[in-house]
Amino acid sequence: MASHRKSRPVGTRVAGIRTPALATAALTSVALLSQSANAAPADDRPSLEEVEKKVDDLYRQAESATDNYNAAKEKTATQRKQVDTLLDDVARRTEKLNEAREELGSFAAAQYRTGASAPDTATFLLADTPQDYFDQTQLMGRLTNRQKGAVDDYVSEQSATMKKRQEASQSLQTLTETQSDLKTAKATVQKKLADAREMLSELTAQEKARLAAIEKRKQEEAARKAAELAQQQAAAEKAAQETTAPQESTPAATDSSYATKAAKALAFVRVQIGKPYVWGATGPDSYDCSGLTQAAWKAAGVDLPRVTYDQVNAGTTVSLADARPGDLVFFYDDISHVGLYIGNGMMIHAPKPGAYVREESIYYDGESAIHSVVRPA
């Protein structure tokens, strides 16, 4: 006989208590909602790839701002020298003007003692400008040649002194504006670096490890690309040697001259490996990217401009396939980074804040990051 007992509803136990199915469903819904609520903030967080890109962009922007800072700093130094020169000139001219005034005063005193033509020089000294007095030809006619010469000297010196004072005033105003640009550029660099540090500080230890793994893969790919370029360049050089005519001595001489200078630049830059990147630094204890390349080529007797977007125009542009040791490799559309090519697809550069001068593949940030190659001598 079949049982007439009602079957119990299927449920679960919570802390040893059997719960109805409906209650179980409710609890499940609450748990899911709780999980969703807890997961929401995590979903809003950027991925590690996005963090890496954002940090790299901030460092690049900081380098670009550093170039602006370097340019403003260099301009400030030049303008300060100009202002100092103008102020020294004004001081000398003012002294000469005072001497001319004293000479005229001696004439006035002498005329007063003798009672002769006293009003003439006195009128000059009391006139609003020397030209006002000069225009009074009836009075000028009574002056002696010596007095006329003194008046001419005074007028000339006063005109020249006023002109120099105006130039000095304009230069001071320009200097003030440039100093303001310098302050703005410095603040921009500091803000970009602070933002990058803040993003990195928010990563967990596990995320930092994963980020390091991503960076390692990028370096491995960059090394592979560098090896490919080295093979291509070696093949091209071999082919060129086989087809070069013996009588072509002039290019060989030119190549030898460049190689000698490049060797000096490379010898210098290799000694700098391990020194810290510091924005705005030109050595000898630290460098930024353009400060390093400038110092390297200075050691070879070649003066390069201070900033990357000027250095890129300080030589002959060559193709990447024709890059030779000593060439400058520029990066990004805004030409905000530069390294010194050492051959085999490698360079020595001052990478970014927190890093050190090091040898690295020119593909460290991908092939698309390479802007151009310039031979500076």
The residues annotated with a catalytic role in the active site are 289, 337, 349
Q: Are 296 and 265 in contact (CB under 8 A)?
A: yes
Element (H, E) at 340: strand 337-343
147, 76, 85: which is closest to 116 by C-alpha? 147
- Three-state DSSP class for residue 95: helix
DSSP letter, residue 367: G
- Three-state DSSP class for residue 279: coil
Two tokens, residue 223: 């090394």
Handedness of CA 307, 309, 315, 318 (dihedral sign): positive
Which residues touch 103 (CB under 8 Å, ≥6 apart)?
150, 153, 154
**What b-and-e string marks burial along 224-260, b requiring 16 or more CB atoms within 10 Å of the CB?**
ebbeebeeebeeeeeeeeeeeeeeeeeeeeeeeebee
Query: Assign residue 350 a region: left if phi > 0, alpha if psi is -120 to 50, beta otherwise?
Result: beta
Distance (Å, rounded) from C-alpha 366 to C-alpha 346?
13
356 has which bridge partners? 276
Q: Are 62 and 279 in contact (CB under 8 A)?
A: yes
Distance (Å, rounded) from C-alpha 27 to C-alpha 32?
9
